[in-house]
Each structure stands twice: as C-alpha cells, then as structure tokens.
Amino acid sequence: MFITFEGVDFCGKSTQIILLKKFLSRRNNKVKVIREPGGTFISEKIRNVLLDKKNHQMSDETELLLFSASRSQLVNHVILPYLEKNYYVLSDRFHDSSIAYQGYGRSLNLSFVKSLQKFVIGKAIPNLTFFLDIPIEEVALRMSKIKKVNLDRIETSKLDFYEKVRKGYVQLAKSDSRFITINGMLPKKDIHKEIITELEKYEGKIDVYKK
C-alpha cells in the first residue's frame, strides 16, 4: 500500500506520518517512511542543490526537472522494491507536490508537468493521498511561531505563491478519488483518527474485491 501526504509547507504532514507509522507498526505491518525530495544517495544530493539558498538563480524549469530526477531515483530504488515486499510506504510529498508547486505555483505548463510526473512515477501510483488543508494565513502564523532562522529557498517565497499552490491542491483533490482532503486546523489527534478511518475504509474496499 502506497500512501502519500500533501499540502503547503507547515500543514502538519510530518506529525501525521509519525502517528500513522506508529499505528501501522502496532498492527504488525511493515512500514517504510520516505520524504521528498531525497531518500536515496543521488536524491539527497539533488535535495541539497534544490534547497540551497545560494542557488537563487535556479530557473523554474530546472527546479521541476531536479525534483523529478530525484523522484525517479526514489521510485525505482526504494518505492517499487518496498511495495513488492508488501510494505506500507508512507511518503512525505510525492508527484502531486510538483504539480501543485511547479505547475500551479510557478505557473509552468500544467499538462506538461502532469505528463512528466506520469512518466516519472510509472507504476508507483499512490493508493491514497491525504491532503492536509490549511488557510495561508495559518502558514504565516506557523512560520512566525516556529521562528525558523533558516527558512529554505522555497519556504522564503512569498505567501501569494502558497495561495496558488493551495488552490492547485484543491483542484487536484477534486479531480481524483485517491485524494482525501482533511482540515489541517483540527487537533492533531482528530486528524490522525480521520486518517485511520479513511485508511480502514479503503482497506475494507480492497478486501471486498479480493473475496
């Protein structure tokens, strides 16, 4: 089972991934957690190039291609092999991030970005994608609360960029039933409960098909 988590920066994905991993491990499932960009030797190198503030001259096209190259390594060397071994693979971001950030956010040609992602992910299509939705004012609030001195290159972009990214996710979620939109303003434990409910609903459907 392949589950991805999406949303704008500071939406709370990482916390939910930790909670879901614990839940699945308690149920004796094998779990592999990955994050994007990164996760393989080559992908981590690409991550450093992408997030390095010194690289402010990076064109939007280069950015898209680097995220995609990093993802391609991850799909072939980690995701597909683990899925074959019946792991639950939980990914902090995946191809929808490129569609939302580079396609909607940076306004690159949307149909090209989507076809490129299809090419990159191949058979690694997520079973479920949890989109944690928060208003952009909340992003600003969480950013200032965390008072991260070292915001990365993309996090320092303006908030209207995040607004475009959020709208992109909303569009994507409407167009595909694998998306589950969750209100990211709810308390952490309520979000976790909703994720478990949705996962069990999905697993119930698969069991029915198997019978």
Amino acid 51 reads L
- Return the residue of 2, 87, 101, 131 that touches ligand TYD, per CB under 6 A: 101
- Return the residue of 2, 67, 88, 130 that touches ligand TYD, per CB under 6 A: 67
Compute the distance between CA of residue 103 and CA of residue 161 in angstroms, rounded to an integer. 11
**Tokens 């089972």, residue?**
1
- Return the residue of 12, 37, 39, 184 that touches ligand TYD, per CB under 6 A: 37
Q: Select from 52, 8, 47 the least CA-distant residue to 152.
A: 52
Compute the distance between CA of residue 23 and CA of residue 75 in angstroms, rounded to an integer. 24
Q: Any contact of residue 186 with ligand TYD (CB under 6 A)? A: no
Q: What is the footprint of ligand TYD within residues 7-36 (CB under 6 A)?
A: 9, 35-36
Q: What are phi and psi of 91, to 5 degrees?
A: -115, 125
- Return the residue of 19, 114, 155, 167 that touches ligand TYD, per CB under 6 A: 155
Instruction: Point out which residues bind ligand TYD (CB under 6 A).
Output: 9, 35-37, 51, 67, 92-93, 97-98, 101-102, 152, 154-155
